[in-house]
């Protein structure tokens, strides 16, 4: 048993966030050591060079004696109930009054001076976070954007210490380990099955997401999904909806014969002025507008940012049109809710039919909600990866399905099947880690393959 010195902070996990935690503690001159359950964490040599003298323990945490440890700061990808930690998870740190086991955001909240705008949800949080950052820039607000998206929150403190606002995408893993966030404005966009292998059930998953409202001044939530409404005391709550708005709600309604982003009876922007497509993206725009208004951004800069915003890579991203068939990369659709949004947003606009490429690591999700919308718009669903059989069982009575070994075979099958007016949509409803390093690598493979197919054959006119 390895005993940790009294007063020492233990950082668990040497991933992206874990390294940001270490850099932050180094800047504060807080004594710490590191533990990682892997025998040889990637990049360990570089870490030792950057932090000479910092002890690193590789292997089971159960061999560590945490009796005298000051605080344990755990990377968000790791389960706080893992062996070695669950024994102290409910203990309180007498110095901070917070749990002895916390996440990176606990350190961020202690150190930050500027207001926080925070976004969570099962889907669309990256889009809304990026869009709100663009709105802040257009409004002349010096904002730092990151968190679960892009730069870790603790690195933002070092890179942009003069920021007037920190705009953060936060996952359920990050929020689960945050004692209080105290956000100026917090948004909970939607909730669908995801990460049940970590949280146990939807109740546990929702409870983690709800922590975004702890200490919040203003909440922005989905009027169509009461599960997003705050369970903690919040001074102001603003709602957005896919329906015509009531009162001061944000919603969609026709104005001068055009579908328009509205706040109550006030028109803001006609849908045909947006470069994003699909009703799910219209809701994202409404959520960002509601947050921007709550944060005091002027209307015209927000609308200007919306007009210019094209969406994110790997998120309902149109890659090419080949022989009248549209190929769309939604590799970031790693859960059922995200894929539903893509199917509903794209399926309703097609002249032809949808060919869905799906599969990977299902994370214990129920795939049956995909059946009804696919039966209405799909030509075929081509399945690949670890949980292809589970998808097949959920869908085969409702839509034509086909199983293949991998994404390359799925794309080739779709290419041979698709007809003019169709859309081939990669929106896997699953994580990628069975066959890829991450969803980005999966999306880039799709992009590369499609772009090669889209190039004219040698000798053809260009």
Domain shared by 267 and 227, yes or no: yes
Domain shared by 131 and 245, yes or no: yes
pLDDT at 462: 38
Whether residue 407 has pLDDT greater than 60: yes
pLDDT digits (tens, 9 = 90+) for 99-128: 899 999 999 999 999 999 999 998 889 999
Domain shared by 82 and 167, yes or no: no
Whether residue 88 has pLDDT greater than 70: yes
- For residue 107, tell me if it sits in a domain: no
Among candidate residues 80, 102, 124, the one where a domain is terminated: 102
Whether residue 457 has pLDDT greater than 60: no
- Alpha-helical runs (H) found in 298-405: 299-308, 336-347, 371-377, 388-395
Confidence tier at 196 by pLDDT (50, 70, 90): low
The catalytic position among 51, 93, 123, 148 is 148
pLDDT at 456: 67
Domain shared by 137 and 261, yes or no: yes
Confidence tier at 87 by pLDDT (50, 70, 90): confident
Domain shared by 328 and 424, yes or no: yes
pLDDT at 93: 87
SS3 212: helix
Element containing residue 401 per DSSP (H, E): strand 401-403
| Mean confidence (pLDDT) of the chain | 93
Could you tell me how many residues make up the chain? 462
- For residue 341, tell me if it sits in a domain: yes
pLDDT at 18: 94
Among candidate residues 102, 133, 159, the one where a domain is terminated: 102
Catalytic site residue 195?
yes
- For residue 165, tell me if it sits in a domain: yes
pLDDT digits (tens, 9 = 90+) for 315-346: 888 899 999 999 999 999 998 988 998 998 88
- For residue 210, tell me if it sits in a domain: yes
Neighbour tally for 207: CB within 10 Å: 15
Q: Tell me, what CATH number does 434's domain have? A: 3.90.190.20
Q: Tell me, what CATH number does 34's domain have? A: 3.40.50.720
Question: What whole-number percentage of the chain has pLDDT above 70?
Answer: 98
Among candidate residues 56, 81, 102, the one where a domain is terminated: 102
- Alpha-helical runs (H) found in 181-278: 196-199, 202-210
pLDDT at 459: 41
Confidence tier at 208 by pLDDT (50, 70, 90): very high
Domain shared by 64 and 209, yes or no: no
Whether residue 431 has pLDDT greater than 90: yes
- For residue 248, tell me if it sits in a domain: yes
pLDDT at 440: 96
Domain shared by 364 and 220, yes or no: no
pLDDT digits (tens, 9 = 90+) for 267-277: 999 999 998 87
Average pLDDT over residues 218-222: 98
pLDDT at 143: 98
Question: What whole-number percentage of the chain has pLDDT above 90?
Answer: 78
Domain shared by 146 and 217, yes or no: yes
Give me the phi and psi of 22, to 5 degrees please. Answer: -60, -45
Domain shared by 280 and 338, yes or no: no
Domain shared by 236 and 159, yes or no: yes
Q: Which domain holds residue 293?
A: 112-308
Whether residue 82 has pLDDT greater than 90: no
Greatest extent of the chain over all pairs of C-alpha atoms, in Å: 75
Rounded CA-CA distance 311/126 in Å is 10
The catalytic position among 24, 125, 199, 314 is 125
- For residue 460, tell me if it sits in a domain: no
Whether residue 44 has pLDDT greater than 80: yes
Whether residue 195 has pLDDT greater than 90: no
Whether residue 231 has pLDDT greater than 90: yes
Q: Which of 174, 187, 72 is nearest to 131 (CA)?
A: 187
pLDDT at 233: 95
Give the count of domains, the chain.
3
The catalytic position among 24, 195, 218, 332 is 195
Domain shared by 96 and 124, yes or no: no
Average pLDDT over residues 14-25: 95
Domain shared by 77 and 182, yes or no: no
- For residue 459, tell me if it sits in a domain: no
pLDDT digits (tens, 9 = 90+) for 338-374: 899 899 888 877 899 999 999 999 988 899 999 999 9
- For residue 140, tell me if it sits in a domain: yes
Q: Which of 168, 440, 166, 134 is nearest to 285 (CA)?
A: 134
- Alpha-helical runs (H) found in 144-278: 153-159, 172-176, 196-199, 202-210
Average pLDDT over residues 380-396: 97
Catalytic site residue 363?
no
Please give the model's pTM, rounded to 2 decimal places.
0.83
pLDDT at 337: 87
């Amino acid at each position: 048993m390895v005993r940790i010195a009294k007063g020492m902070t233990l950082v668990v996990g040497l991933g992206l966030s874990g390294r940001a935690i270490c850099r932050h503690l180094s800047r504060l001159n807080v004594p710490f050591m590191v533990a990682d359950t892997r025998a040889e964490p990637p990049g360990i040599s570089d870490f030792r060079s950057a932090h000479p003298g910092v002890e690193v323990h590789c292997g089971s945490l159960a061999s560590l004696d945490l009796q005298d440890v000051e605080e344990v700061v755990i990377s968000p990808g790791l389960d706080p109930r893992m062996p070695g930690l669950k024994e102290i998870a409910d203990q309180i740190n007498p110095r901070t009054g917070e749990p002895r086991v916390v996440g990176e955001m606990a350190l961020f909240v202690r150190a930050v001076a500027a207001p926080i705008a925070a976004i969570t949800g099962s889907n669309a949080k990256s889009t809304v976070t990026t869009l709100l950052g663009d709105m802040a820039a257009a409004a002349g607000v010096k904002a730092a954007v990151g968190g679960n998206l892009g730069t870790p929150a603790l690195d933002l403190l070092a890179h942009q210490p003069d920021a007037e606002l920190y705009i953060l995408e936060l996952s359920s893993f990050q929020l689960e380990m945050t004692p209080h966030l105290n956000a100026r404005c917090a948004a909970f966009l939607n909730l669908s099955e995801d990460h049940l292998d970590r949280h146990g059930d939807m109740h546990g998953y929702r409870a983690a997401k709800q922590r975004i409202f702890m200490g919040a001044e203003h909440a922005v939530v989905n009027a169509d999904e009461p599960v997003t409404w705050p369970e903690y005391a919040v001074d102001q709550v603003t709602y957005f909806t896919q329906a015509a708005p009531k009162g001061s709600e944000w919603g969609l309604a026709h104005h001068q014969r055009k579908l328009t982003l509205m706040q109550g009876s006030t028109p803001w922007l006609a849908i045909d002025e947006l470069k994003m497509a699909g009703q799910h993206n219209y809701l994202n725009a409404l959520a960002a507008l509601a947050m921007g208004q709550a944060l005091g951004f002027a209307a015209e800069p927000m609308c200007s940012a919306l007009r210019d915003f094209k969406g994110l890579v790997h998120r309902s991203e149109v890659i090419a049109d080949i022989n009248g068939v549209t190929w769309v990369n939604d590799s970031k659709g790693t859960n059922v809710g995200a894929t539903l949004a893509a199917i509903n947003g794209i399926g309703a606009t097609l002249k032809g039919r949808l060919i869905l490429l799906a599969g990977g690591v299902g994370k214990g999700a129920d795939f049956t909600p995909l059946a009804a919308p696919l039966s209405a718009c799909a030509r075929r669903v081509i399945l690949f990866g670890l949980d292809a059989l589970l998808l097949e069982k959920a869908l085969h009575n409702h839509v034509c399905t086909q199983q293949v070994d991998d994404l390359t075979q799925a794309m080739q099958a779709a290419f041979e099947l698709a007809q003019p007016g169709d859309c081939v949509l990669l929106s896997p409803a699953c994580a990628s880690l069975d066959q890829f390093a991450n969803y980005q690598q999966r999306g880039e493979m799709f992009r590369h393959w499609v772009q090669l197919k889209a190039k004219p054959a040698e000798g053809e006119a260009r």
